[in-house]
């Protein structure tokens, strides 16, 4: 639950900084540095608003590859690893700088009798300061 609260706070601060130009400049800079958390917050918010018979389909297109993203792992604040399946159902991963990442999100109805899938959002584990 801590991740959810962090992404909500970052999204809230980003919205506030966009609305008030002068005092919030340091907050906007901090939010811009952690683009991965902003992207996670957007995806989380879209998935949270879905009905039971809907799913968020997330697409990444790079070169000739098109990937349906099923998981995003932030390897670092600036690098994301996307996992999913290509058009031939091959497991595919894309490693990309977060600031170059472009995703297409669509809300789609689930086929009758099917189960809605969700994009898994994975943050790196916090390192223990004791070693």
- For β-strands 65-76 and 79-85, DSSP reports them as antiparallel
Q: What is the pLDDT of residues 71-102, one digit of tens each?
A: 999 999 899 999 999 999 999 999 999 999 99
pTM: 0.70
Please give the DSSP secondary-structure letter assigned to residue 44.
H
Which pLDDT does position 90 carry in this prediction? Answer: 95
Mean of pLDDT values over 23-48:
76
67 pLDDT more than 70: yes
Bigger pLDDT: 15 vs 69 = 69
Distance from C-alpha of 60 to C-alpha of 28, rounded to nearest angstrom = 26
CA distances (Å), 57 to each of 38, 54, 129, in order?
A: 18, 9, 38
Residue 54, pLDDT > 60, answer yes
Q: Between 125 and 101, whose confidence is greater? A: 101
Cα separation, 119 vs 1, whole angstroms? 17
Residue 24: the pLDDT is: 47
* Crossing angle of the two packed helices 2-19 and 25-33, in degrees rounded to 10: 130
pLDDT in tens, 4-30: 566 566 566 655 555 555 444 555 555
């Amino acid at each position: 639950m801590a991740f959810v609260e962090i992404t909500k706070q970052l999204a809230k601060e980003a919205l506030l900084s966009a609305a008030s130009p002068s005092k919030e400049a340091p907050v906007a800079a901090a939010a811009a540095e952690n683009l991965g958390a902003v992207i996670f917050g957007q995806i989380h918010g879209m998935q949270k608003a879905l009905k039971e018979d809907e799913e968020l389909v997330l697409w990444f297109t790079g070169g000739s590859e098109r990937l349906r993203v099923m998981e995003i792992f932030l390897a670092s604040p600036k690098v994301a690893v996307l996992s999913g399946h290509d058009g031939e159902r091959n497991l595919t991963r894309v490693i990309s700088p977060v600031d170059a990442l472009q995703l297409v999100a669509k809300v789609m109805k689930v086929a009758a009798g099917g189960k809605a899938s969700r994009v898994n959002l994975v943050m790196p584990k916090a390192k223990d300061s004791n070693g």
